[in-house]
Structure 1
């Protein structure tokens, strides 16, 4: 009797029985472990050896016999043991080509009988809605027209489940199944049960003493599930996001002087229903350190440390921050380049003083390695031109290599907002003293097209269309236009900005605007158009200057002079006062002016991460041609700080303007007219000079040549769960609008008269954006002022 060495793997799918092509689906079984079968021999076989003069292969249809022999590794005439036959079997099964393998010695002939795995006809996905078929197809390793592998199919199912886990759907299940087809083919189907999102119900902290849980939760990218859980996707549990949150916490504490801070662990407990997580961050804050002595030293004989010491801005006693040290290093290295000192590096040396909780910083100037930039390679940008990316580098090919400058360039590339990811790495070039900078980017959409409708009590029903592109034609330029139409107004605007004019750090822009109004509440119409090219360039790290030219067209039209009040013949049906009536006779007017705006902003580069100052001052000088000569001045100052462990934000601001004509005079559409966006508590044009004539309908808001508004406010939590995104505030505004070029006996409030307003605010981070609801009360106003006790605006931070 022939001795049979037989081993069979699992055959739960693809049985010998027929399966309907149309609908019958059989469960796929995965053969875990290539050696699931057993090699069985009588006991005497273990002491025997075999020599085969011939090998017969049966059952193979697609796979060549030579391929099977190569996997078996049995040479003709060579004596082999039973153990070696078992090894041959394991190699054949391990190839992943066969469902089962039998090795049958028949005298001097070895019969290898195989059952091949089928080929994959096609791959389908069923039950998936959150992830598209094409995205799942990119995840799986199984391929059409390739040999089916249960092991690969099981791995694919796991990969799909992991993709759903990354979206917070940890209850997702994926079942691979096969449908038998003719010619030993199968359709591979992945049945997906997506399940629900496992949201984060609560985020807590253990070990925090300085900052509250509420404050720390605002630092994290991950949010708690709240009222808007249907719109917010940052409340799903994603492990990678938790890791990013740990880094955010480190950065937050480090920027506030807690150099010993660390996250000792993160506990994520899953609710019994598997629909929510409770996440706890275990942290150690440590002590807060401040700057001690800050000195600049040098081991280079041609470098004067005193020159570099004079540009250091950080001062002893300020809260220590690694980012401030980085700023000082960058500032010193830029000065070295300016002084013609190449390859100068700044090595920070930190000395810790635990007794007084200070850190002495020694910035040592030393000679770095003589390494040059060989070239900059950019990949992944299909739309954006190479030059747009290259312009973010301060170095070009052949310049000395500075790792810190490369890191800063990488941050500028990411800050463009054109790319989903931007990876910048340096590698050795063709010689040891050269490096190649590789820039790999992945682009993202940068354009937007929007349509909308609106209704207001003054403009009626309206429609709008707007288009904007932040990377126009891949050149890094900004282009936008908008059209807004309503029953009583039409507005058209177009803007273009080139941020790197002539390849320099200068922004060139052009703005075109035209508007027409025909308000039912007024008895005249207006038209205004402007053409304004601008050039903006930095003056220092925190300041910038904009120069501009403005050509402005304006007109008061459709003003019926029969409705103008005439003091010589008073008419009780008059609707328009003397001043606007006189201004309406002036007709069309062109104003041509040159102007500038200086701005100083410390919000991002200041020494205090919790405080900042914004200063703006601008003037326009009319008289470069045109019909008028004038000087228009505007100023704005805002200061903000956070107190009580950053729980409360205090903000103070001042805004004012002055308008003076030396040729011609101001009209109502030239003067300052302010509304609740500048001073709360009053409607647009609700305060300031107005012409009021008792016994008639004349009650014209005139605006003023001068205005000044000071605002003071505080923002603080209301004790509500922060996942609601609701906080509160109080404010106090004081301001006035005054001054006219011409007046009549019926003009009220031409002189300065301060109005005072107090109120409360509710801030809401809604799914449509940050909203601010103001409830105000004018505690001091004039009789004919028009107060506004409530208004809703989009909240902005200065």
Structure 2
């Protein structure tokens, strides 16, 4: 059928639409038939002598181009079949709306009608995807030849773009409007349809883990409250494939080596507005590591010495990642020992009776292959050196396939690229390889506007700019401006992750903070500058060295109601502290043996007295442990922290001492426990030189469908803030200097909403002092738009 003016054109709808064109070949077919009537045998097939070829109707395509595409030329003798093939080649070229061959005894008349030129492309009916997004999805473009087959493919591409948004019922109808000079306007009329939600996401065959737990693993989600803000609750084929891999990784990391997914079935609801998605799985048995051994066929390599650095022990739940970590650890040790080309081959044997996997690490000599060079392509912004430093090997080093795979993962983990492919190929000689890195840049900058609310700080707003790959150097820069009813804060931070080309991160923070808290009788103003160097000292540990210079001031309000102690500290005016310090961090969550458990240890000290007005040693320590129990349905968390401030010079003020907040002990106002000056009615909180606190949390489902994102929690906190040594308390009436341990129990409702996490804490102080200020309800909301 012909493309006609709008209003008379055929409309093609659905995912199986067809864009048709007419090819006028009837005249040629009749001519061929007439010339070949009553042919007695193949030997008498009629031949055509093309003494001349005349071409008519072509405006853009030249005669020579037409003959070249047809594969014929004047003076040539062709058969009827060859002439028909030449016609078909012109039809298939996509350049002509119709082609007509009229053969004569001595020549051939070719008449063509060229496809029109696309004057303009437009879209109608699209609201969810704008014109720019749809234009990027199609291949047709303005001022090019109109091609019906290409338009058909473009309509499919538009429908696919909507399908990725969960709008599987989207329909696209291409239409043309005829213009003068053989031009057309191409219009894609879009009927977007509704989102087809996943009404129910369930599993069959799972016994070890509940549907609720497995749903948290998947990227696809069930439709729930505020589902209009969620894009993960629609049926997307690519996402389902990704979910299959996530589910396999989840089970394999927990020892289910025989796990497999039998099928994934999607069934439309009766209303045809949603899907029931069912994963049919077979878990198998859970295996643990059995006997761990090591053998070596290399002279001078002691297998027992290498076995000593293996972290995995018998009885630990089997996980392929733990095996990979040990292999990488052994090969790195070989490099440190000067053993080149050592390869570790794990030999795993099953013991079905005991449900264990015995592992033998075979230390052997790998092929003598070297890295010839590393070629990087596709990085238009990111400098080559940022990508190259993700490799532990350079040109000329022994080639290690495992290290190349790890480098590829590190490149992807940077977050700078949409895609990152790393492959090795043979180099100029068989004993050399070339590593090809092909990346596609991704946006790395962000600008966000955030809001927060709590009953301690009130309503707050924040504007933040962040660039994760500043000037393509891999540097991180962030600027934050935040304000609440009681405070204003301005912050600038910078991090260079590879200072001087080393595995050392250099950073600095500039921080200006002004507070007008309703929980104190004074205002504060602080300015801090803190440069630091952070580097790894172990597989899971880092050490930070830092210098801090800070100027702080306590300010009297318009109607001062300060006690004597706070009044003395305000009178001290601006104070400057200059300190050097360090912080050691050990985090087993980075590469822990148990995917459900981990712990964090931190210890830090700052020594002030390098100039400035203050001399002190400030020490803090923190330990946090977390685990999941009852088939990972319940999360248990415990933390213990404390601090000590040893003051030896300058004014020891409330802004320098430890003050309680809800991050230390819940159930009390900021500064609600600890020493207090009660000489005035407002009772100034003074803080203390010492504090210790322990927090215990349990988070669990409360029977509400998990698509609502609501869970419950119980908590118990105990702690104390005390000691006013080296503090001028003259003229004040001090209570709580010696301190006592306060105890708080509470219940939490946690709501993980698309606009941010909400937490409601209901608490009761079961042991407190008369002068403490408790807080039975706390509500917080943090979100970024």
Q: TM-score, normalised by structure 2?
A: 0.91
Kept after mapping to 1: 8 A contact 2:521/2:682: no
1:707 is matched with which residue: 684, 691, 700?
691
- SS of the equivalent of 1:622 reads strand
Structure 1 window deviating more from structure 2 (466-475 vs 33-42): it is: 33-42
CA deviations 1:625-649 (Å, max 9, x no partner) are: 3333322111111111111110011
Q: Which runs of 5+ in 1 are unaligned?
A: 1-10, 564-574
Report the Cα distance in structure 1 between the residues aligned to 2:232 and 2:202, rounded to whole angstroms. Answer: 16
- Residue 594 (structure 2) aligns with: 608
Query: Is the CA contact (8 Å cut-off) linking 1:34 and 1:90 kept in structure 2?
Result: no
Is 1:588 paired with 2:577? no
Deviation for aligned residue 1:518:
4.3
Question: CA–CA distance in 1 between the matches of 2:495 and 2:566?
Answer: 37
**SS of 2:654's equivalent?**
coil
Distance 1:139 1:461 in 2: 42
State whether residues 491 and 515 of structure 1, in contact with CA within 8 Å, keep that contact through their aligned partners in structure 2.
yes
Instruction: Spell out, residue by residue over 1:231-273, the C-alpha distance to the aligned partner (whole angstroms, 9 max, x if none).
Output: 1111121101100100001100000000011111111123354
C-alpha deviations, 1:511-551, integer Å up to 9, x for none?
Answer: 22233334566443333222222111111011111122222
- Aligned-residue Cα RMSD (Å) equals 2.8
Aligned partner of residue 740 in structure 1, secondary structure: coil
| TM-aligned CA distance change 1:487 to 1:77, over 3 Å | closer
In structure 2, the residue matched to 1:3 is none
Q: 226, 245, 248: which is aligned to 1:247?
A: 245
**Aligned equivalents of 2:59, 2:542: Cα separation in 1:** 76
Match of 1:746 in 2: 733
Q: Greater relative contact order: 1 or 2 (C-alpha under 8 angstroms, separation 6 or more)?
A: 2
Question: Counterpart of 2:29 in 1: which secondary structure?
Answer: coil
Q: 1:625 to 1:273 in 2, by over 3 A?
A: same
Say yes or no: does 1:686 pair with 2:676. Answer: no
User: 1:764 aligns to what?
Assistant: 751
CA contact (8 A) 1:344 1:367 kept: yes
User: 2:760 maps to which residue?
Assistant: 773
Which stretch shows the higher mean deviation, 491-500 or 501-510?
491-500
Partner of 1:676: 662
The separation in 2 between residues aligned to 1:531 and 1:85, in whole angstroms, is 84
2:10 is the alignment partner of 1:12: no
Structure 2 unmatched ranges of 5 or more? 12-17, 40-44
Shift of 1:492: 2.8
Change (3 A) 1:45 1:477: same
> CA contact under 8 A between 2:454 and 2:781: conserved in structure 1?
no
Secondary structure in 2 aligned to 1:39? helix
Partner of 1:621: 607
Offset of residue 553 of structure 1: 2.1
Show the counterpart of 1:566.
none
Query: 2: CA distance between counterparts of 1:460 and 1:200?
Result: 38
How many Å separate the matches in 1 of 2:78 and 2:610? 104
CA contact (8 A) 1:658 1:705 kept: yes
Residue 42 of structure 1 deviates from its aligned partner by: 5.3
Which residue of structure 2 lines up, in the alignment, with residue 329 of structure 1? 327
1:663 Cα deviation from its structure 2 partner: 3.0
Give 1:349 shift.
0.8
CA contact (8 A) 2:462 2:480 kept: yes
Match of 1:7 in 2: none
- Residue of structure 1 in register with 2:721 after alignment: 737
Q: Tell me the secondary structure at the aligned position of residue 251 of structure 2.
A: helix
Q: Is the 8 A contact 1:508 1:533 kept in 2?
A: yes
Check if 1:193 corresponds to 2:204.
no
Question: Which residue of structure 2 aligns with residue 406 of structure 1?
Answer: 404
Provide the C-alpha distance between the structure 2 equivalents of 1:487 and 1:720, rounded to a whole number of angstroms: 35
Give the aligned partner of residue 570 of structure 1.
Answer: none
| 1:339 to 1:274, Cα distance in 2 relative to 1, 3 A | same
Match of 2:773 among 781, 786, 790: 786
Aligned mate of 1:346, from 344, 347, 355: 344
Q: Report deviation, 1:115.
A: 3.1
CA shift for structure 1 position 656: 0.9
**Following the alignment from structure 2 to structure 1, what is the Cα–Cα distance between the partners of residues 21 and 271?**
31
Aligned residue in 2 for 1:27: 10
Cα 1:667–1:84, aligned 2, differ >3 Å: closer, same or farther? closer
- Aligned mates of 1:81, 1:387 — CA distance in 2: 64
1:261 aligned to which of 259, 262, 267 = 259
Question: Structure 1 residue 39 and structure 2 residue 34: aligned?
Answer: no
Is contact 2:24-2:98 (8 Å) kept? no
Moved more, 460-469 or 144-153: 460-469
Q: Secondary structure at the match of 2:128?
A: coil
Quote the Cα distance in structure 2 between the aligned partners of 1:719 and 1:692: 47
- Contact kept, 8 Å, 1:292 with 1:361, in 2: the verdict is yes
CA–CA separation in structure 1 for the residues paired with 2:634 and 2:123: 52
Contact kept? 2:23, 2:99, Cα under 8 Å? no
Deviation at 1:455, TM superposition (A): 8.1
Give the alignment partner of residue 481 of structure 1, picking from 475, 479, 482: 479
Moved more, 704-713 or 63-72: 63-72
- Aligned CA distance change for structure 1 residues 351 and 77 (closer, same or farther; 3 Å): same
Further displaced range: 341-350 or 764-773: 764-773
Q: State which of 140, 148, 162 in structure 2 corresponds to 1:164.
A: 162
Does the aligned pair in 1 maintain the 2:454–2:779 contact within 8 Å? no
Q: Distance in 1 between matches of 2:3 and 2:656?
A: 83
Q: 1:282 to 1:460 in 2, by over 3 A?
A: closer
Q: TM-score when scaled to structure 1? A: 0.90
Q: Judging changes above 3 Å, is the alpha-carbon distance between structure 1 residues 451 and 720 closer, same or farther for their aligned structure 2 residues?
A: closer
Q: How do residues 344-493 of structure 1 correspond to structure 2 at under 5 angstroms?
A: 344-451=342-449, 464-484=462-482, 489-493=487-491
- Tell me the CA shift for residue 177 of structure 1: 1.4
Query: 1:335 & 1:36 partners in 2: Cα distance?
Result: 76
SS at structure 2 position matched to 1:714: strand
Provide the C-alpha distance between the structure 2 equivalents of 1:664 and 1:116, rounded to a whole number of angstroms: 91
**Bigger shift: residues 453-462 or 178-187:** 453-462
Question: Aligned-pair distance for 1:84?
Answer: 4.5
Aligned to 2:14: none
Change in Cα spacing, 1:159 to 1:487, as seen in structure 2 (3 Å) is: closer
Structure 2: distance between partners of 1:786 and 1:66: 94
| Deviation of the 1:400 alpha carbon | 1.2
Q: CA deviation at 1:387?
A: 1.4
**Contact 1:603 1:612 (C-alpha < 8 Å) held by counterparts:** yes
Secondary structure, in 3 states, of the residue corresponding to 2:228?
coil
The equivalent residue for 2:522 is 524
Quote how far apart the aligned CAs of 1:438 are. Answer: 1.9
For 2:163 and 2:459, the matched residues in 1 are separated by 46
Q: Is the 8 A contact 2:674 2:720 kept in 1?
A: yes
Q: How many residues align?
A: 765
Measure how far apart 1:478 and its partner are: 2.0
CA 1:706–1:435: 2 relative to 1, 3 Å: same
SS at match of 2:137: coil
| Contact 1:772 1:795 (C-alpha < 8 Å) held by counterparts | no
Q: C-alpha separation between the residues in 2 aligned to 1:313 and 1:784? A: 52
Secondary structure of 1:268's partner?
strand
Residue aligning to 1:294: 292
- Structure 2 Cα separation of the partners of residues 637 and 549 of structure 1: 24
1:303 to 301, 304, 318: 301
State whether structure 2 residue 719 is matched by structure 1 residue 725.
Answer: no
Residue 505 of structure 1: how far off its partner (Å)? 1.1
